[in-house]
Structure formats: structure tokens, C-alpha cells
């Protein structure tokens, strides 16, 4: 412990003058150096991008039930049902290398297999707001641009019923007997590889004076007008619904009118009801189904 050089009394704390006699204590001790800041951490290495994934799709129609059972490790009865149902079936979603290996393995059983990049199956469609129908042609207004679809210009039409329901909420204690109507959507896939599909929702599409009754029936008539020789796929109905939060409806007059019926709470404000549907599932199915159809229409010898 330091002491005063004049009165020699101990000093508990370093000071410029003695607290007892006021004598100067000499030069002020140098302040202890501040600790050096820790070295800056090196920026984390950029996370490796997730490998691109691919879809392995097999064609059940015409396949041997026995070969299908062996390839997929299925009971013979289930394999026979799959063949009887026919159509195309999404087998697996794998990284590109593993998808190629799985495709080669399935091919050894005599199965017809297609490998589709996932990005190709997830192209977002153009949502149609309304349009007009003429002889062999549809003129459609979408959220982004006007689209003309002519008879014979389609690669594929995919149609499917949409499951819709309210998300259960613990805040709503009463029994909710209200149910949402089933939706119905159609995707028009053009033959041009670079063109995006057009999505029509029968509930929000503005048919104009052409609408005589049900929007679904009218939409089927519009599809029939331009279908030509393109196949129409309805296999989505066989899939169990995978529900997720519904995205906002397109900014059309019909969609705006549909929001007027939302329930109101005790304070007069609209209740925060969350609607669930399987539109995302339908878009994914439609996307990979169109990708397979595009490969079916390629000239012989072209890689799938």
C-alpha cells in the first residue's frame, strides 16, 4: 500500500495530494492500458448452396405390376392398383446426382422414368383475372399482362378441385359449423417452353356476360373451346390434400366482392380468420406434370 512522503500515513487510494496533510504525491501514475479489443472474427465461410434437386417421376400405365412391386418394394396388391390407375406418379425428390442414380435403378426393372429439375416444376403461373371467349381463342387478363390462348397452342391442361377450410384457433371457442366452398382451378400450359402457364380460378375469374350458371361449368366450356388435341389431366384429385396458408386473392372485382362476407367480431372489426388451402400442392403437381408432358412431346432420341 502507498504512503504519503511527508507524513508517511498509508494511503488506501492513489491520489494527487495527501488526504491528511495535502502534500503533493508526485506524478500521477499512468493509467493502466485498456485491454486490446478481441481480434475481429473472420467472416464465416459462405454457406454452400443447397444442391439443386430433381424429381423422379415414373409412368405406371403399361408397367408390369410385378416389376413395379419389386422396384418400389410394394405389396403386389398395391402395385396392381397403381398400374390400374395409370398416369404418372411422383416417386421421389432427390439431389440431381441421386435422382439420376434412382432413375437408372428403376429403368433396370423396365419402368419408364422421367427426371425433372425441381425449378422447372415450380414456375409460378400467371393468375388470370378475367377474359373473353371467341371461336377457338381466349383473351385473358392476368395480373401481369394480357395473354391470348388459341386452339392447338396448348401442351397440357391440368384441372383440380381445391380444398379450403379455416385454420382452427384456440381463441374461437364456439363450434364453427361454417365451411368454405370447394374451389376449382385450371392451368393452361402453352407449347412454348419459355411461356408460363395461366391459372384460372373459377371463383374469382370475371367471365362477364358469358356466365350463365356455375363458374366451374363455364370454365370447362372455355377449356373445351381451346383444348384441341392437348391432353387434360385430372389426376390431382387422387392426392390427399396438403393444406397451407392461402395467399391473397388476385385484385379482381369478383375477388373483392368475395371479401364482403367475412365474419365480424364483437368490436365490429373483421375476425382474423386464416384460410387454408392446397393451391400450392396443385401448382406443384401441375408444374411437374407439364414438365413430363414436354418430355413426352420431344423428338425421339432427345434426352429426358
pLDDT digits (tens, 9 = 90+) for 208-244: 776 667 889 999 999 999 999 999 999 999 999 999 9
What confidence score (pLDDT) does residue 16 get? 61
CATH code for the domain defined by 53-121: 3.30.1390
- Is the sign of the CA dihedral 294, 296, 297, 303 positive or negative? positive
Instruction: Please tell me the predicted confidence (pLDDT) of residue 266.
Output: 41
Residue 267: per-residue pLDDT? 41
The pLDDT, as a whole number, for residue 209 is: 74
Question: Is 99's pLDDT higher than 60?
Answer: yes
What confidence tier does 299 reach under pLDDT thresholds 50, 70, 90? low
What integer pLDDT is reported at residue 268 of this predicted model?
Answer: 42
Helix ranges restricted to H, the chain: 65-72, 76-85, 96-107, 118-121, 215-226, 253-258, 279-296
State mean pLDDT over 96-100. Answer: 97
Q: What is the mean pLDDT of residues 147-171?
A: 91
Output the pLDDT for position 120: 96
Q: How confident is the model at residue 264 (pLDDT cuts 50, 70, 90)?
A: very low
Residue 73 has pLDDT above 90, yes or no: yes
165, β-bridge pairs: 276
Q: For residue 208, count CB atoms less than 10 angstroms from its CB and return exposed for 0-12, middle for 13-18, buried for 19 or more.
A: exposed
Cα–Cα nearest to 208, from 251, 248, 254: 254
User: What percentage of the chain carries pLDDT values higher than 70?
Assistant: 70
Average pLDDT over residues 9-25: 57
291 pLDDT above the threshold of 70: yes
C-alpha cell at 106: 428403376
Q: pLDDT higher for 15 or 249?
A: 249
* Residues 263, 42: Cα–Cα separation, whole Å: 54
Which DSSP state fits 267?
T
pLDDT tens digits along 41-70? 555 554 456 679 999 999 999 999 999 999
Beta-bridge partners for 117: 54
Cα–Cα dist 233/229, whole Å: 13
Q: How confident is the model at residue 263 (pLDDT cuts 50, 70, 90)?
A: very low
Average pLDDT over the chain reads: 83
Q: How close are the terminal C-alpha atoms of the chain, in Å? A: 87
Name the H helices within 16-159. Answer: 65-72, 76-85, 96-107, 118-121
**In the prediction, which pLDDT does 85 show?**
92
Smallest CA-to-CA distance from 123 within 234, 200, 198 is with 198
Instruction: Write out the residue limits of the CATH 3.30.1390 domain(s) in the chain.
Output: 53-121
Burial class (CB in 10 A: 0-12, 13-18, 19+), 214: exposed
Amino acid at each position: 500500500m502507498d504512503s504519503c512522503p511527508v507524513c508517511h500515513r498509508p494511503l488506501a487510494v492513489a491520489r494527487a495530494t495527501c488526504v491528511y496533510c495535502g502534500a503533493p504525491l508526485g506524478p500521477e501514475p499512468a493509467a493502466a492500458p485498456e485491454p486490446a479489443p478481441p481480434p475481429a472474427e473472420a467472416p464465416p465461410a459462405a454457406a454452400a448452396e443447397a444442391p439443386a434437386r430433381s424429381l423422379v417421376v415414373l409412368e405406371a400405365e403399361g408397367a408390369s405390376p410385378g416389376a413395379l412391386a419389386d422396384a418400389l418394394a410394394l405389396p403386389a396388391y398395391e402395385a396392381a392398383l397403381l398400374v390400374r390407375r395409370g398416369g404418372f406418379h411422383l416417386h421421389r425428390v432427390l439431389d440431381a446426382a441421386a435422382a439420376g442414380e434412382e432413375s437408372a435403378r428403376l429403368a433396370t426393372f423396365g419402368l419408364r422414368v422421367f427426371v425433372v429439375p425441381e425449378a422447372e416444376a415450380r414456375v409460378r403461373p400467371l393468375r388470370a383475372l378475367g377474359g373473353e371467349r371467341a371461336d377457338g381463342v381466349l383473351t385473358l387478363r392476368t395480373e401481369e399482362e394480357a395473354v391470348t390462348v388459341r386452339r392447338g397452342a396448348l401442351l397440357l391442361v391440368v384441372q383440380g378441385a381445391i380444398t379450403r377450410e379455416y385454420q382452427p384457433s384456440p381463441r374461437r371457442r364456439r363450434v364453427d359449423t361454417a365451411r368454405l366452398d370447394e374451389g376449382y382451378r385450371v392451368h393452361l400450359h402453352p407449347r412454348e417452353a419459355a411461356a408460363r402457364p395461366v391459372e384460372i380460378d373459377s371463383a374469382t375469374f370475371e367471365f362477364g356476360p358469358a356466365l350463365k350458371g356455375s363458374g366451374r361449368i363455364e370454365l370447362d366450356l372455355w377449356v373445351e373451346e381451346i383444348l384441341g388435341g392437348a391432353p387434360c389431366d385430372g389426376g390431382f384429385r387422387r392426392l390427399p390434400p396438403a393444406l397451407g396458408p392461402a395467399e391473397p386473392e388476385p385484385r379482381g372485382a369478383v375477388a373483392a366482392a368475395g371479401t364482403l362476407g367475412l365474419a365480424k367480431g364483437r368490436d365490429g372489426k373483421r375476425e382474423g380468420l386464416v384460410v387454408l388451402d392446397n393451391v400450392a400442392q396443385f401448382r406443384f403437381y401441375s408444374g411437374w406434370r407439364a414438365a413430363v408432358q414436354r418430355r413426352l412431346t420431344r423428338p425421339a432420341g432427345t434426352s429426358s
